[in-house]
Amino acid sequence: MQGRSYYLTTIRAWRAASPQLATSHFIHAEFDSVATPETKILAMVEADEGTLNSLSKNPAWQELPHPLNPNLVPESVADALSSHGVTPFNTAFEATESIARSHPILRYRVF
């Protein structure tokens, strides 16, 4: 079964997992940051449950709460995404809506 999850990670971690992430997308956490291996990114991963579970267990991938969950995003995620208008008082849905202003594909959708 395919699923969609959001993660805060680095370009290095993204590249290492990229063979499993063919239909996934990312955006730089800092709006105008330079692309280096350690640049933080927000990744929207569309993959099978096995891939999502393995990413969730990997310390290089910080999973955000499910967008339909009312929990707030972790403060570390809000700090990393602050240049996109994300605050510690946003849910994951609100955070993805803020990010979608720059990268519409990252908007959470229910089909």
Residue indicated by tokens 């990114």: 41
- What H or E segment, with its residue span, contains residue 15? helix 11-17
How would DSSP label each residue in 16-71?
HHGGG-TT-EEEESSTT----TT-EEEEEEEEEHHHHHHHHHSTT-EEPPPTTS-P
Whole-number pLDDT of residue 61: 97
- The mean predicted confidence, pLDDT, of the chain is 91
Q: Where are the domains of the chain?
A: 2-106
For the stretch 29-43, pLDDT in tens is 998 889 999 999 999
Q: What percent of the chain has pLDDT over 90?
A: 70
Whole-number pLDDT of residue 2: 79
Which residues, other chains included, contact 65 with Cβ-Cβ below 8 Å and sequence gap of 6+? Answer: 71, 72, 73, 91, 92
How many whole angstroms separate alpha carbon 83 and alpha carbon 41? 12
How many whole angstroms separate alpha carbon 37 and alpha carbon 16? 11
Whole-number pLDDT of residue 43: 93
Using DSSP's 3-state secondary structure scheme, residue 81 falls into coil
Point out the residues of the chain with pLDDT beneath 50. Answer: none
Whole-number pLDDT of residue 82: 95
Whole-number pLDDT of residue 111: 58
Whole-number pLDDT of residue 3: 82
pTM of the model: 0.88
Please, is 29 exposed, middle or buried when counting C-beta atoms within 10 Å of its C-beta (0-12, 13-18, 19+)?
Answer: buried
